[in-house]
Structure 1
Amino acid sequence: MQGRVAVTGLGIVNPFDGENSITVNSASDFFHRIAAGKSAVSLYTTEDIPRPVSIPAVRCAGFRPAERLGKSLTGMMERFAQLGVAAAFDAWEDAGFVRSDASSTRVAGSASESGVAWGTALGGLMAFERGYRDFWQHGRERVAPMSVVLGMNNAAAAHISIQLGLGNSSLTYSVACASAAAAIGEAFRHIRRGGAKVMVAGGSDATLAYAVVRAWEALKVLAPGDEASASTACKPFHPARGGLVLGEGAAALILEDWDHAVARNARIYAEIAGYGANADHVHLVRPDQAGQVAAIQMALKEACLLPAEIGYVNAHGTATREGDPIEISALRAVFGPHAEQMAVSATKSAHGHLMGATGAVEALLTVLALHYDTIPPTAHLDEVDASCAGVAHVRDVALRGSKVRAALSNSFAFGGSNAVLAFKAAQ
């Protein structure tokens, strides 16, 4: 019989950091702000030549990597890795493990029993963008000598492994905006089949590089907005939805063999019980209902959950014209009449789309929804598009005292990659 897997630690680089002097271990603060409907979205204007771009976006402006990680370590990492390592450190300590100064923690058991699974869509792209600028804008003859190790996609996972002394697997998953969910799901299965006792799982991305912003602008899927309207620019399921909002950030979960966690008297936030992953194999950017349905059903089957037992779904909900109705249709297809009573919200409305980090941020929020008996809302949802009807949308105001016993977190990505995580309340 396969074992159970607990979530024992949470960490996030919080876009609200810096407010009220909250700078570390802010997962709970982040959850309560999202539950209160507070938006982290503001207008972001690049200063780049040849043409600045102004878009609604989410930035971790209060994140000070040198304070969180130390100057020497910060200098060895690109921003996506800085964000990821900071989130992983917070989650590690939140789980009750002690981080040493010399990568020799070992308190989670032997080094071979603990590993890392990390997701990123873009990795250290900023390092290579700077290299192109050095050549073409500044006329330099060479790029910075650390560009390769700064830019490699597995940099975050490598630093987490080294700094925390994790000698089990160190794997990086890159499947667009399902990256972090895939990392968490694969880490869950690794523990469940006895491959590790503890895994640091999550994701990070820094999406606001100039080339990335211009590329998304060219795709014409970014939400419009100005200084006055930016905070409400992301409107999943709304008739006036106009596209997604880019963001940067990171989140990490500590996944742990259940018996191992109980033996050390760890706090258990929730149980991760199932994971569904597949490929639509239909289209590079157009979501597919059948693929989403299959991934949801896979997660339910592995978790030994009936559709009627799911009380909450943290939807992928990117606020695109085509994507939102397809996801709701998939939910209706899986859950049937129960869908009309099942709470659904898209927290991207408040924290934006963090690409490879999104699945971890939303998994963290789903875990805390179970932990606090509070379901966060879809912010700014004063009206539901008829094409997105048929589920119990949580609109503007959180559902408190929800007593939900099981929940899903959906991640559906470009390229046809679908990843669904199933969680149960700790008991």
Structure 2
Amino acid sequence: MRRVVITGQGTINALGHDVPATLEAMREGRCGIGPLQLRDVDRLSVRIGGQVTDYDAETLFNRQQIALYDRFTQFTLIAAREALDGSGLTFAGDLATRSGVVFGTAGGGVNTWDENYRSVYEEGKNRVHPFVVPKLMNNAAASHVSMEWNLKGPSYTVATACASSNHAMGQAFQCIRVGACDVMVTGGSEAMLSFGGIKAWEGLRVMSKDACRPFSANRNGMVQGEGAAVFIFEEYEHAKRRGAEILAEVVGFAMTSDAADIVMPSKQGAARAISGALADGRLNPEDVGYINAHGTGTAANDKVECAAVADAFGQHADDLMISSTKSMHGHLIGGTGAVELLACIMALKDGVIAPTIGYEEPDPECALDVVPNEAREARVGAVLSNAFAFGGLNAVLALRSAP
């Protein structure tokens, strides 16, 4: 099995339009959740979200590109450019054919769906733009990244609800580890903050109207976010030969299915994914110092996740730090695991543990060290990133400090 390292990272989300701004916000425990600015917001009962603000697509893309790029694709291209510029890679010849793209998204072009449904049903138009299908399809972002940077290897999209990004990054990891590719551009993106996207989530009655408070006894639901994060996964010897800066090493991945309920999480399924990632990465429980939790802020998820961590780690669970950055940037659904991996890399590289903000009251069913409200300086050698999705789909990544 070949080793896999991370040599580039990029993002745009509610906390910042790039990685430095995002990490600074995480270190400061800043909240990116605020009042939504979108059409017909007065018809929504949930009016807050982790929205990307101060964003003008027309300053970044030309008219032809905007006709082809849904907001989720725009976010992906912005994050991919930062990641690829940071990696120092260019793709030609053999490297182009041995490099690919795997991204996660749950909804794909939700804004395009929303705008065109309005056009047809509300405004009575009988024709839509000829690029509606290529703009809204879930694989649009992966395809445009492939075309923009000449990535000719396996390129595809994973859609597994809130675990999409972790599944995608796990697939990218495995592609390199088994020798199918040398470089993979991977991560996830979501732009579901439109009237229809929020109205659909309102129907589930799992949304908070005021704040995301993971693990706090007075938590009352999740808050949606939007954005993207993209990473460059690279075979270790390839990265070492070219003198690349290595941010972290990906060492393990596991995915499980609860096979139980379409929306309610399962402690057993989550625990098996956590234990599987440890085993795949040849890590002992005591090797891990930090977990970036799925931590949605719903009553069901948080207590089930804490129970799963306790099961998988046994007596070492009390020594772990576990935090949910969704409290700051919101739940990016299919893109959430990607943005959260930034916090994992920050923990390994900079020795800073991102906090769970909004924490107000201890919950006996979430009695772990959730790093409440303030970031913490701590040296950790290995971390996990959890993602547990509707449909009972679980995906956990394990990372080590850069070799």
AA matched with 1:392: D
**2:168 — aligned with what?**
183
**1:426 — aligned with what?**
402
AA matched with 2:376: L
Check whether the contact 1:8–1:261 (CA below 8 A) recurs between aligned residues: yes
AA matched with 2:10: G
CA drift at 1:297: 1.0
Task: Tell me if 1:10 matches 2:30.
Answer: no
Task: Tell me if 1:73 matches 2:65.
Answer: yes
Distance 1:258 1:129 in 2: 43
Partner of 2:169, secondary structure, is: helix
CA drift at 1:387: 1.1
Report matched runs for 1:270-419 at 5 Å: 270-389=248-367, 391-400=368-377, 402-419=378-395
Distance 1:319 1:266 in 2: 38
Report matched runs for 1:107-146 at 5 Å: 110-146=95-131
Partner of 2:138, secondary structure, is: coil
Task: Tell me if 1:169 matches 2:161.
Answer: no
Distance 1:383 1:52 in 2: 28
For this pair of structures, how many residues does the alignment match?
403
Q: Which runs of 4+ in 1 moved over 4 A?
A: none
Check whether the contact 2:44–2:199 (CA below 8 A) recurs between aligned residues: no
Check whether the contact 1:273–1:422 (CA below 8 A) recurs between aligned residues: yes
Report matched runs for 1:2-81 at 5 Å: 2-17=1-16, 23=17, 26-44=18-36, 46-48=38-40, 51-81=43-73
CA drift at 1:281: 0.5
Distance 1:70 1:264 in 2: 34
Deviations 1:127-171 (A, max 9, x none): 222222112111111122111101111000000000010000001
CA drift at 1:69: 4.2
Task: Tell me if 1:267 matches 2:245.
Answer: yes
Partner of 1:13, secondary structure, is: strand
CA drift at 1:45: 5.1
Distance 1:128 1:284 in 2: 24
**1:150 — aligned with what?**
135
Check whether the contact 2:15–2:328 (CA below 8 A) recurs between aligned residues: no
Check whether the contact 1:13–1:250 (CA below 8 A) recurs between aligned residues: yes
Distance 2:250 2:95 in 1: 23
Distance 2:389 2:49 in 1: 19
Distance 2:371 2:386 in 1: 16
Report matched runs for 1:67-106 at 5 Å: 67-98=59-90, 105-106=91-92
* Consecutive unaligned residues in structure 2, runs of 5 or more: none
**1:229 — aligned with what?**
none
Partner of 2:43, secondary structure, is: coil
AA matched with 1:260: H
Distance 2:160 2:382 in 1: 26
* Consecutive unaligned residues in structure 1, runs of 5 or more: 18-22, 99-104, 226-232
AA matched with 1:294: R
AA matched with 1:362: E
TM-score calculated relative to the size of structure 2: 0.97
Distance 1:293 1:4 in 2: 25
Distance 1:188 1:291 in 2: 22
Q: Percent identity?
A: 39
Check whether the contact 1:58–1:352 (CA below 8 A) recurs between aligned residues: yes
Distance 2:98 2:346 in 1: 26
Deviations 1:214-257 (A, max 9, x none): 111111111122xxxxxxx1100001101000011000010000
CA drift at 1:29: 2.3
Distance 1:116 1:262 in 2: 21
CA drift at 1:367: 1.2
Distance 2:46 2:361 in 1: 27
Check whether the contact 1:45–1:53 (CA below 8 A) recurs between aligned residues: no
Check whether the contact 2:29–2:357 (CA below 8 A) recurs between aligned residues: yes
Check whether the contact 2:250–2:399 (CA below 8 A) recurs between aligned residues: yes
AA matched with 1:340: D
Q: CA RMSD in A?
A: 1.5
Distance 1:173 1:219 in 2: 23
CA drift at 1:77: 0.7
Deviations 1:7-65 (A, max 9, x none): 00000013244xxxxx5xx2132112112110000011543299345422011122333
Partner of 1:202, secondary structure, is: strand
